[in-house]
């Protein structure tokens, strides 16, 4: 395995971890919009409590992804930052408003502001993953006219497509599903647990339907190859496993197979993209930095992970060991 | 074809950074202070220290979250606003950013544990988490400052002008560039100093309103003991920074002092009025007869803006004032004199925002003083900016969002402080 493939693999793993861990945070915000009576307030409070200790840490994966990109694959990063300036900027507004609204909701002494912070948190929880999906869709479809932009339309056409929008919705559904699955575990109250369980099942069905739409719109031949078919099968199997686990109330199993399903979906996408980082101009090979830089980066990532992973494990152990009494 | 004016990109980046710096400084210093407060509680069992730790933790949580999201914006804005810079410099400085990313990651993890683990963790473990937040925070600052230092004194990589790319990159030398030691120490201490002064002022105000508030007194003690050593050491670090700039970026030094004519026995002009002969040469190199290069030796297109001189004087003025005040408070504390006198408290209240003002001013000196370069004398800012048109739109929108955030944060902070005037829970 060459250095650049190794770094690209780490990039993909980081994206998977971001979605599997941080995606649920977005999902919690999205679910707050749809959550219904009875006990709607309690459910929302459960969601807040579930993500409060971990959300800040969960979203650092995104920063790591950006850093790995501009260190190891700088030309691709520069290109994406230039051409996809608009969806990325909208996503950033989502990030800022979301984090601020969440912390203000928690710490603002004026209770009357609660609804405003909730509203901002919920809207931005939809906008952020949607724009992330738009961006990923754009680099997959690769409808960039030139490497150097010459017209204002160059900044809009690549992502204003049905395919990109479908990827955006798909990403939101993914996040919502993960949140619903995790939340099933979070409460000792069985009626609340059941509520999220059934919600998760419904979201899973929606996800599968939308996934098919994305594949159809994307016309991705990759999934007719052996590699592609295998990954698609794995994702489908995990989806069935999730459905089974949810319907049979096997909550621990659901918590394991749902993220595995997401991981296989993202892996499938990654393999489909290879060797491209950004279609049609940038591959892993042609945008890679020098061997020295890649080696140093791998070392930095290794050393960093040595501190990070045990700390992350400790965090989740302390807060996700058992459901709350809410 | 598409070649927008870099002013919008520069302004947006500047506002984002200027906003973020305040919250980052709080995220560096406050965790240390709250961990110290909790340590005193564990040692003395005096509940005041616990109340203080918890209240400071609440403030930290709010500032940290806003700092985190504004930091996320910055990591993207590097590419959104200056993609050419990132394409060229990304492989060079990326490793420092990666290390900063990991430091920030652990900071977020341990802050989560600290804020929400009061009842779940053993007290010793809990307070250690607090110190780990503080340590990660300062490491994060150190790593990210080495990147800025590299932009001023690019080292550890060879630049090919024709292909506009770096090669033979040596990451260790990149992180230990000639101005790294100066920037890292001076900048990091500035964060502690600015926050200590601000917090001291807030608790001084609370004490003025309520003389018997015991935990505000304790808060004041911690802030003062952080403020005093920082304020005393900082001018010396500033002097060292000046010497480094004189050697590595003489154009910047000339702009800082608005020194026009190259000469030996170069004077320092205070506030444009008082001239102290020979002082600039002495400060820059340790010898009054050394030659200090003047702005007129460089083409006007390479001059940094005049504002650099104004911000420099603001920073030095405040730094000198804080130095003097620190000595006074040191005297009061060592001599066990009363620190909650009306004069002392009023002074602290008045000085409260000055540390942050000096921090911003100093940062503006180093950033604006580097212009028109983004990588000093290798790449101009105007060459690095994005071709994306209409940048005035995100500029206005982000500015409005930051203003709104600043307003809400200050409002929440104010409510916390006024709510706490009883001095009791």
ipTM of the complex: 0.90
Determine contact, residues A246/A254, Cβ cutoff 8 Å: yes
Q: Measured between CA atoms, how close is A201 to chain B, in angstroms?
A: 31
What distance in Å separates the CA atoms of residue B347 and residue B201, rounded to the nearest whole number? 8
Average pLDDT taken over every residue of chain B:
92
pLDDT at B418 over 90: no
The CA–CA distances, whole Å, from B407 to A57, B64, B249, B380 equal: 25, 16, 38, 35
Neighbours of A112 (CB within 10 A): 7
pLDDT > 50? residue B425: no
Q: Alpha helix locations (H) across A73-189? A: 74-83, 85-107, 114-141, 162-186
Tell me the nearest-neighbour CA distance from B262 into chain A, angstroms. Answer: 41
List beta partners, residue B292. B263
Rounded to a whole number of angstroms, the distance from the CA of A208 to the nearest CA of chain B is: 32
First to last CA, chain B: 63
Beta bridge partners of B275: B269
Contact A96 B401 (CB under 8 A): yes
Name which of A72, A85, A108 is nearest B80 (Cβ-Cβ).
A85
Q: Which residue of A has its CA nearest to B61?
A: A103
Tokens encoding A211? 């996934």
| Chain A CB within 8 Å of residue B112 CB | yes
Under 8 Å CB-to-CB from A172, ≥6 apart: which residues? A26, A30, A126, A129, A130, A133
From the list A57, A107, A314, the residue facing B105 with the nearest CB is: A57
pLDDT of residue B1: 53
Is pLDDT of B368 > 90? yes
Cβ-defined contact of A96 to B72 (cutoff 8 Å): yes
* CA–CA distance, A208 with A5 (Å, rounded to integer): 30
Q: Which of A53, A62, A135 to mutate to test the interface with B (most CBs of B within 10 A)?
A: A53
Residue B347, preceding peptide bond in cis (omega within 30° of 0) = no
Peptide bond before residue A285 is cis, with ω within 30 degrees of 0: no
Interface size A-B, in CB pairs within 8 Å, comes to 216
Query: What residues form DSSP beta bridges with B276?
Result: B268
Looking up tokens 């630049």, which residue turns up? Answer: B159
pLDDT tens across the length of chain A (326 residues): 699 999 999 999 999 999 999 999 999 999 999 988 888 888 898 888 888 888 888 889 999 999 999 999 999 999 999 999 999 999 999 999 999 999 999 999 888 999 999 999 999 999 999 999 999 999 999 999 888 888 889 999 999 999 999 999 999 999 999 999 999 988 888 888 899 999 999 999 999 999 998 988 888 778 888 888 899 999 999 999 999 999 998 888 999 999 999 999 999 999 999 899 998 999 999 999 989 899 999 999 999 999 999 999 999 999 887 776 54
Tokens 């650099």 correspond to what residue?
A: B308
Residue B117 has pLDDT above 90, yes or no: yes
Interface contact flag, A74 B394, Cβ < 8 Å: no
Any chain B CB within 8 A of the CB of A31? no
Is A81 close to B64, i.e. CB distance below 8 A? no
Residue A184: other Cβ atoms inside 10 A: 25
CB-CB contact of A100 with B23 (8 Å): no
| In contact, B82 and B375? CB cutoff 8 Å | no
Chain B positions touching A64 (Cβ under 8 A) are 98, 101-102, 105
Contact A96 B109 (CB under 8 A): no
Q: How far is B277 from chain A (nearest CA, A)?
A: 48
For residues A285 and B282, which has the higher predicted lDDT (pLDDT)? A285
Give the H/E segment covering residue B398: helix B392-419
Cβ proximity of A42 and A192 under 8 Å: yes
Q: What is the largest CA-CA distance in chain A?
A: 59
Q: Which of B70, B90, B116 is opposite residue A96, by nearest beta carbon?
A: B70
Please, is B336 exposed, middle or buried when counting C-beta atoms within 10 Å of its C-beta (0-12, 13-18, 19+)?
Answer: exposed
- CA pair distance B31, A109, nearest whole angstrom: 22
Residue of A nearest to B416 (CA): A109
pLDDT at B24 over 80: yes
In this prediction, what percent of chain B has a pLDDT beyond 90?
Answer: 79
The residue written with tokens 């809009």 in the block is A156
Q: What is the DSSP track for A209-265?
A: HHHHHHHHHHT-GGGGSHHHHHHHHHHHHHHHHHHHHHHTT-HHHHHHHHHHHHHHH
Phi first, then psi: what are they for A283, rounded to 5°?
Answer: -105, 170
Chain B residues with beta carbon closer than 8 angstroms to that of A293: 91-92, 94-95, 169, 171
For residue B276, what pLDDT band results from cuts at 50, 70 and 90? confident
Of the partner residues A56, A78, A304, the one whose CB lies closest to the CB of residue B102: A304
Q: Which of B76, B86, B412 sits opposite A78 (nearest CB)?
A: B86
Confidence of residue B345 (pLDDT cuts 50, 70, 90): very high
Query: Are the beta carbons of B68 and A318 separated by less than 8 Å?
Result: no
- Say what the pLDDT of residue B303 is: 92
C-alpha Rg value of chain A to the nearest Å = 20
Residues with Cβ within 8 Å of residue A84, at least 6 apart in sequence: A135, A138, A139, A158, A159
Tokens, residue A272: 């489909």
The CA distance from A278 to the nearest CA of chain B, in Å, is 15
Helices (H), B210-353: 214-248, 250-257, 279-285, 307-334, 342-351
> Vertex B354, ends B349 and B360: CA angle to 5°?
150
On chain B, the residues whose CB falls within 8 A of the CB of A305 are 102
> For B384, which residue in chain A has the nearest alpha carbon?
A78
Helical ranges in B267-306 per DSSP H: 279-285
**To which H or E segment does residue A277 belong?**
strand A276-278
**Is A142 an interface residue toward B (CB < 8 Å)?**
no
Backbone angles phi, psi at B65, to 5 degrees: -60, -45
Residue B86: pLDDT band with limits 50, 70, 90: very high
Q: Is the pLDDT of residue B89 over 60?
A: yes
CA distance A318 to chain B (A): 7
Question: At A59, is the secondary structure helix, strand, or coil?
Answer: coil
Strand pairing of B291-292 and B263-264? antiparallel
pTM: 0.92
Residues in chain B: 425
CB A315 within 8 A of CB B113: yes
pLDDT tens string B293-336: 889 989 998 899 999 999 999 999 999 999 999 999 999 999 99
B 61-100 residues with CB below 8 A of A? 61-62, 64-66, 68-73, 75-80, 83-84, 86-88, 90-92, 94-95, 97-99
Chain B contact for A57, CB < 8 A? yes
Instruction: Inform me whether the C-beta atom of residue B129 falls under 8 Å from chain A C-beta atoms.
Output: no
For residue B183, the Cα-to-chain-centroid distance in whole angstroms is: 10
Contact between B80 and B72 (Cβ < 8 Å): no
CB A180 within 8 A of CB A203: yes
- The 10 Å Cβ neighbour count of residue A1 is 7
């Amino acid at each position: 395995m060459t250095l650049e493939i190794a770094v690209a693999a780490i990039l993909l793993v980081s994206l998977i971890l971001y979605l599997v861990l941080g995606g649920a945070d977005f999902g919690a915000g999205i679910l707050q919009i749809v959550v219904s009576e009875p006990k709607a307030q309690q459910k929302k409070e459960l969601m807040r409590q579930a993500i409060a200790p971990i959300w800040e840490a969960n979203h650092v994966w995104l920063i790591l992804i950006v850093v790995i990109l501009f260190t190891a694959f700088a030309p691709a990063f520069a290109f994406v930052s230039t051409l996809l300036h608009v969806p990325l900027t909208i996503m950033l507004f989502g990030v800022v408003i979301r984090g601020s609204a969440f912390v203000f909701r928690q710490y603002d002494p004026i209770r009357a502001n609660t609804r405003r912070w909730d509203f901002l948190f919920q809207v931005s929880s939809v906008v952020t993953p949607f724009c992330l999906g738009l961006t990923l869709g754009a680099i997959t479809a690769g409808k960039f006219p030139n490497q150097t932009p010459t017209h204002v339309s160059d900044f809009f056409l690549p992502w204003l497509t049905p395919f990109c929008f479908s990827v955006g919705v798909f990403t939101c559904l993914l996040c919502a599903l993960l949140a619903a699955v995790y939340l099933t575990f979070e409460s000792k109250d069985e009626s609340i647990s059941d509520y999220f369980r059934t919600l998760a099942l419904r979201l899973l069905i929606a996800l599968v339907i939308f996934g098919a739409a994305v594949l159809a719109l994307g016309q991705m031949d990759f999934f007719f190859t052996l590699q592609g078919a295998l990954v698609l099968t794995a994702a489908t199997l995990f989806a069935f496993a999730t459905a089974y686990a949810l319907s049979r109330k096997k909550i621990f199993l659901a918590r394991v197979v749902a993220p595995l399903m997401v991981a296989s979906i993202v892996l499938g996408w990654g393999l489909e993209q290879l060797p491209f980082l950004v279609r049609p101009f940038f591959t892993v090979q042609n945008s890679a930095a020098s061997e020295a830089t890649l080696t140093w980066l791998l070392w930095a990532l290794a050393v960093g992970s040595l501190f990070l992973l045990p700390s992350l494990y400790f965090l989740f152990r302390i807060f996700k060991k058992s459901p709350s009494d809410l | 074809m598409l070649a927008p004016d870099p002013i919008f990109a520069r302004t947006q980046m500047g506002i984002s950074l200027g906003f973020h710096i305040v919250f980052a400084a709080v995220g560096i210093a406050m965790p240390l202070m709250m961990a110290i407060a909790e340590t005193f509680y564990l040692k003395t069992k005096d509940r005041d220290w616990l109340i203080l730790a918890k209240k400071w933790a609440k403030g930290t949580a709010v500032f940290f979250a806003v700092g985190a999201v504004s930091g996320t914006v910055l990591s993207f804005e590097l590419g959104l606003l200056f993609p050419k810079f990132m394409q060229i410099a990304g492989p060079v400085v990326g490793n420092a950013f990666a290390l900063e990313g990991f430091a920030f990651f652990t900071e977020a993890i341990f802050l989560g544990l600290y804020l929400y683990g009061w009842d779940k963790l053993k007290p010793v473990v809990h307070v250690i988490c607090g110190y780990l937040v503080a340590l990660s925070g300062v490491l994060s600052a150190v790593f990210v400052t080495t990147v800025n230092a590299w932009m001023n004194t690019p080292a550890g990589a060879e630049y090919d002008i024709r292909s506009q790319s770096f090669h033979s990159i040596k990451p260790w030398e990149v992180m230990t560039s000639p101005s790294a030691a100066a920037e890292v120490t001076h900048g990091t201490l500035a964060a502690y100093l600015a926050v200590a002064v601000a917090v001291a002022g807030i608790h001084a105000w609370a004490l003025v309103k309520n003389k018997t508030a015991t935990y505000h007194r304790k808060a004041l003690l911690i802030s003062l003991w952080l403020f005093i050593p920082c304020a005393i050491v900082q001018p010396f670090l500033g002097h060292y920074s000046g010497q480094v700039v004189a050697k590595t970026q003489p154009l910047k030094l000339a702009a800082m002092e608005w020194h026009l004519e190259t000469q030996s026995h170069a004077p320092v002009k205070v506030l444009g009025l008082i001239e102290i002969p020979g002082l600039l040469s002495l400060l820059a190199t340790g010898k009054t007869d050394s030659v200090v290069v003047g702005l007129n030796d460089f083409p006007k297109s390479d001059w940094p803006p005049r504002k650099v001189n104004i911000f420099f004087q603001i920073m030095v003025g405040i730094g000198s004032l804080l130095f003097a005040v620190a000595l006074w408070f040191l005297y009061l504390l060592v001599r066990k004199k009363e620190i909650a006198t009306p004069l002392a408290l009023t002074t602290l209240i008045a000085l409260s925002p000055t540390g942050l003002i000096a921090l911003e001013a100093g940062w503006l000196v180093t950033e604006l003083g580097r212009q028109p370069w983004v990588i000093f004398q290798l790449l101009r800012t105007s060459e690095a900016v994005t071709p994306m048109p209409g940048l005035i739109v995100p500029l206005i929108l982000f500015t409005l969002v930051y203003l709104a955030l600043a307003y809400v944060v200050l409002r929440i902070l104010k409510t916390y402080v006024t709510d706490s005037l009883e001095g009791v829970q």
